[in-house]
Structure 1
Amino acid sequence: MLLTCCTKEGDTIYLPNPDEEQPSTAPLVTVIYDVNGLGDRSYNDKIFRGIESAAKKHGFRTLQLVPDSYEQGLAYLETVFRQMESAQDTVRRLFIAPCQGYDEFIRKNNRRLERNPYADLLYLETSTPLEGKGSTFYIDYYGAMYMGGYLCQDYYSSKVILLVLANPYTQWVVEAGKGFVDGFNSMTSKYNKTLKTHYLSNEPGGGFQLADTTALRIYQEAKVNETDNVCVVPICGGAMNAFFRILPKFSYYVGVDDYVFSPLINNYINVIKNIDTVMEYYIDQWADGTLPKHRTFGLRDGATDIYLSQFHYMSREDHQELRQEAIRKEEERYEK
């Protein structure tokens, strides 16, 4: 469990529990992450950076909570909700829940915060707005992943493309995987590639952490022939780190969520989710008192993107043509 409160100057104050909030009139942003979420070098770490950047800019306090079990996370949720609904002061408080595992609790309890006009709630990511108090947003990964799948056809020395998905229930994971598969299948490669899909968990919310030994076994089992060079595409949050650690030298790898670099890995394609920028935008909006009820972001507005290394050649014209095709398919699919 990690509890931190950061000041405007960037100093970090460690607190033993959420009840020991610092007495201050400065607005407070409280976050409860997924189990052991921080340190994933991916989605959750980017959320942390975005929140801290915005909080420092506005002079807000932050309290970042990382439970070490789902039960502990629910206990923190109850504690924070109880604090926020019963507060008698005029301190503005924003609670952020970046974990779909808390969906049931959030939807059953969000109206409790209506008792406090100075309390606000931001829940992500979901495409279903909250009834009652609270804001939500969803980042559509389909278009960027469509581009990634299309471009993976250029991994000419990789006979096998291994698409690793956390689980078949988390919405953004499923739709990201669908975008990648559709992009991959939109063209016929002369290199006769095989696309394989592997789910790390069959449990809702599972598959975002993985042992290195398991990652190595999955990698080896994906090979058709012993000499195959497998290209790994990990849509599985922090579990991606296990694959990155076990890859043989000069293997192929598609970075997901954040830019990944290693001189020993051929990482020409990075599919990026700019969740840090979106979080900063939302805290800016909250600071102005204009927190949106619900929004869907995607490739067109820069919430997702794709970065190619200097070794992956594609003309500017072809890149823009592919981007526009991906945006069109994304927006048709979700009726934007």
Structure 2
Amino acid sequence: MKRRNAAKFAAIAAASVLALTACDNPAGESGSETEGEESSDVRVGLAYDVGGRGDRSFNDSAYRGLERAAEELGVETRDFEPSDGEAESAKADRLATMAEEGFDVVIAVGFAYAESVESVAADYPDVHFAIVDSEIEGIDNVTSLVFAEEQASFLAGAAAALSTEEDHVGFIGGVETPLIQKFEAGFVQGVEHVDSDINIEIDYLSQPPDFSGFSDPAQGREAAQAQYDRGADVIYHAAGASGNGVLQAAEENDFLFVGVDSDQYENAEESQKPYVLTSAIKQVDVAVFEMIESVVEGDPQSGIQRFDLADGGVDYTKSNEELISPIEEELDGLKQQIIDGEIEVSSTP
């Protein structure tokens, strides 16, 4: 099972006035007023999901969108870290604090904020709220940024099926929620579309209301090691920061890793890059930037904004040319079939 050798974006600043996990200083707060091509008096606050900034995945993608807005639009930005195992009230307090402090745009990263966004947004009708990965309808000042994760995951599954040497692959989800099941569903369909005889391992690191599965690299590494020991030689994760442990196991055991949300080849250590087959990405950074831009331009988004393969909102990455080039034509063909409606990808397992 030995292997040999297996987009954009950047970042800005940070933190909290509550008792939050510190990011850049002991007080847990930092910010930026970056002069871009133009300056703006719009203030933007962003609250991270479990795992926080530095997960090389979902949160980091949102962070890149925030930085781009600071650099190109000249908005003032601040980001806020969650605390491990925090109560729902802490999320609501964080959002309300941003609104009270005069932030014009408040962005909540992750479905875990859904209840808090609904309760807080109604109290601050002049603040533009956005939530990533949850659909909230009927509140005029709330924009939902949602993605067809199952479509990108289908391509991740097809890539795994085309690359496995053992006809045995794996999926590791952070927390078994409907959102993460979309990744599982797409991945399994992609694998089976290529070869229905391939064995598929499926493991989740935690169950709701325990969301530690998104922030535990050691557990991710252990789950990946177990799947490898059972025969899997390509493993896909949708586990946030826990995926860093999956990648560590890939390097240690010489199997292939499929990343999620961000291009994890670009974010990997040099020694890890040969093991990153591809990543199923969703352009959270683009969605965050466009939401902020709409407010700066005076025409704020609202309602549900959907992103899929057809509009480039989700995709698979080709950074590891050595591994992707031999299967790229087939993957691109499958991608076009999904866009054309010839392949329908279910969002449930």
TM bucket (normalised to shorter chain) is: 0.7 to 0.9
* Cα distance in 2 between the residues matched to 1:231 and 1:83: 42
- Residue in structure 2 matched with residue 20 of structure 1 by the alignment: none
Shift of 1:271: 1.6
Q: Give the counterpart of 1:68 among 53, 75, 83.
A: 83
Shift of 1:182: 0.8
Matched position secondary structure for 2:53:
coil
- Change beyond 3 A, Cα 1:113–1:318: same
* Cα distance in 2 between the residues matched to 1:40 and 1:75: 21
Which is greater in Rg? 1
Do the aligned residues in 2 keep the contact of 1:142 with 1:175 (CA within 8 Å)? yes
- Residue in structure 2 matched with residue 160 of structure 1 by the alignment: 168
- Residue in structure 1 matched with residue 259 of structure 2 by the alignment: 255
* Cα distance in 2 between the residues matched to 1:201 and 1:124: 21
* Cα distance in 2 between the residues matched to 1:4 and 1:330: 46
- Change beyond 3 A, Cα 1:97–1:216: closer
Do the aligned residues in 2 keep the contact of 1:230 with 1:252 (CA within 8 Å)? yes
Q: Give the counterpart of 1:193 among 191, 198, 201.
A: 198
- Residue in structure 2 matched with residue 56 of structure 1 by the alignment: 71
* Cα distance in 1 between the residues matched to 2:195 and 2:171: 18
The percent identity for this pair of structures is 21
- Change beyond 3 A, Cα 1:158–1:258: farther
Shift of 1:302: 0.8
Aligned residues: 308
> What stretches of structure 1 of length at least 5 have no aligned partner?
11-24
Matched position secondary structure for 1:186:
helix
Do the aligned residues in 1 keep the contact of 2:42 with 2:76 (CA within 8 Å)? yes
* Cα distance in 2 between the residues matched to 1:232 and 1:320: 21
- Change beyond 3 A, Cα 1:79–1:125: closer
> What stretches of structure 2 of length at least 5 have no aligned partner?
1-20, 23-28
1:313 aligns to 2:325 (yes or no): yes
- Residue in structure 1 matched with residue 53 of structure 2 by the alignment: 38
Do the aligned residues in 1 keep the contact of 2:260 with 2:281 (CA within 8 Å)? yes
- Residue in structure 1 matched with residue 236 of structure 2 by the alignment: 233
1:135 aligns to 2:143 (yes or no): yes
> TM-score by structure 1 length?
0.81
Q: Give the counterpart of 1:93 among 96, 104, 110.
A: 104
RMSD: 2.9
* Cα distance in 2 between the residues matched to 1:74 and 1:33: 15
- Change beyond 3 A, Cα 1:140–1:329: farther
* Cα distance in 2 between the residues matched to 1:301 and 1:56: 24
* Cα distance in 1 between the residues matched to 2:210 and 2:300: 27
- Change beyond 3 A, Cα 1:166–1:144: same
Do the aligned residues in 2 keep the contact of 1:8 with 1:56 (CA within 8 Å)? yes
Structure 1 runs (4+) greater than 6 angstroms displaced? 329-332
- Residue in structure 2 matched with residue 16 of structure 1 by the alignment: none
1:295 aligns to 2:305 (yes or no): yes
